[in-house]
Structure 1
Amino acid sequence: VKFNDILEHLYKMTHNPSDKRHIILDLDSTNVETHGHQDESTYIYHYDTTGYHPMVLYDGLTGDLMKFMLRKGSEYTSTGVVSFLEPVLFSLRRTYPEATILVRGDSGFAVPQLYDLCEEYGVHYLFKLKANATLHKLSSFEEELFLTNYKTDYSKYHCQYNDFSYQAKSWSRSRHVIIKIERSPGELVPRKSFIITSLRLDAPDILKAYNKRGNMENYIKETKLDFGLDHLSHSSFLANQAKAMILAVAYSLVNAMKQLVLPKEFSKSRMSTLRTLFIKIAGKSISHAKKIKIRLCSSAPYKEAILKMLENIHLLALG
Structure 2
Amino acid sequence: PLWHLVCSDARGLTPLDEARPSQATLSRLLNCLGTDANIDTVHEGLLRLAIWRWRSLPWIQRPRHVTLDIDGLPIEVFGHQSGSAYHGHVGSRIYSPLIASLAETGDLVGGLLREGNAGPAEEADTWIPHLVQRLAEGLNLAIDQVLVRLDAGFTDNATLEAMDAREIDYLGRLKSNSVLQTQAEPYLKRPRGRRPETSREWCHDLDYQAGSWTSPRRVVLVVQENPDDLLLHSFFLVTNLSKLDYPAEKVLALYRKRGKAEAHMGELKSALNVHLSSTDRGASTVQQVMARNQVSLLLSLYAYELLHGLRCLLERQTRQGWSLMRVREQVLKVAATLTVHARRVTVHLGAAADKWWPTLLRGLP
Q: Normalised by the size of structure 1, how large is the TM-score?
A: 0.86
Offset of 1:137 from its aligned partner?
1.7
1:292 maps to: 346
| 2:155 paired with 1:110 | yes
Distance 1:73 1:268, change over 3 A: farther
1:217 maps to: 262
CA distance in 1 between partners of 2:75 and 2:53 (Å): 28
1:129 to 157, 174, 185: 174
CA distance in 1 between partners of 2:113 and 2:276 (Å): 11
1:207 maps to: 252
1:303 maps to: 354
Equivalent positions of 1:76-155 (< 5 A) are 76-98=119-141, 100-144=145-189, 146=190, 149=192, 153=195
2:213 maps to: 171
CA distance in 2 between partners of 1:91 and 1:127 (Å): 21
Offset of 1:266 from its aligned partner?
6.8
Distance 1:267 1:120, change over 3 A: farther
CA distance in 2 between partners of 1:98 and 1:234 (Å): 38
Offset of 1:44 from its aligned partner?
1.0
Q: Normalised by the size of structure 2, how large is the TM-score?
A: 0.76
| Residues 315, 321 of structure 2: 8 Å contact kept | no
| Residues 170, 240 of structure 2: 8 Å contact kept | yes
2:11 maps to: none
2:308 maps to: 255
Which amino acid letter does the alignment assign opposite residue 306 of structure 1?
Answer: W
| Residues 285, 295 of structure 1: 8 Å contact kept | no
CA distance in 2 between partners of 1:246 and 1:279 (Å): 18
CA distance in 2 between partners of 1:281 and 1:141 (Å): 63
What is the SS of the residue equivalent to 2:188? helix
CA distance in 2 between partners of 1:5 and 1:179 (Å): 38
After superposition, the C-alpha distances for 1:27-65 in whole angstroms (9 at most, x for unaligned) are 001211111222122111221121111111111121211
| Residues 27, 104 of structure 1: 8 Å contact kept | yes
Offset of 1:20 from its aligned partner?
4.8
After superposition, the C-alpha distances for 1:202-241 in whole angstroms (9 at most, x for unaligned) are 3222112101111211111121221121x33332333333
What is the SS of the residue equivalent to 1:226? helix
CA distance in 2 between partners of 1:296 and 1:266 (Å): 24
| Residues 32, 51 of structure 1: 8 Å contact kept | yes
CA distance in 1 between partners of 2:163 and 2:360 (Å): 39
The structure with the largest alpha-carbon Rg is 2
2:200 to 134, 158, 167: 158
What is the SS of the residue equivalent to 1:116? helix
| Residues 150, 158 of structure 1: 8 Å contact kept | no
Question: Percent sequence identity over matched residues?
Answer: 24
1:269 maps to: 322
CA distance in 2 between partners of 1:57 and 1:63 (Å): 10
Distance 1:156 1:13, change over 3 A: closer
Which amino acid letter does the alignment assign opposite residue 254 of structure 1?
Answer: L
Offset of 1:274 from its aligned partner?
0.6
User: What runs of 5+ residues in structure 2 fail to find an aligned partner?
Assistant: 1-39, 281-288
| 2:47 paired with 1:12 | no
The farther-off stretch of 47-56 and 90-99 is 90-99
Which amino acid letter does the alignment assign opposite residue 275 of structure 1?
Answer: R
2:108 to 47, 65, 72: 65
Offset of 1:285 from its aligned partner?
5.0
The farther-off stretch of 163-172 and 7-16 is 163-172
User: What runs of 5+ residues in structure 1 fail to find an aligned partner?
Assistant: none
The farther-off stretch of 90-99 and 168-177 is 90-99
CA distance in 1 between partners of 2:302 and 2:48 (Å): 11
| Residues 60, 215 of structure 1: 8 Å contact kept | yes
Distance 1:150 1:164, change over 3 A: farther
| Residues 20, 96 of structure 1: 8 Å contact kept | no
Which amino acid letter does the alignment assign opposite residue 43 of structure 2?
Answer: N
Distance 1:21 1:128, change over 3 A: same
Length, aligned pairs only: 306
Distance 1:22 1:286, change over 3 A: farther
| Residues 166, 176 of structure 1: 8 Å contact kept | yes
Which amino acid letter does the alignment assign opposite residue 243 of structure 1?
Answer: S
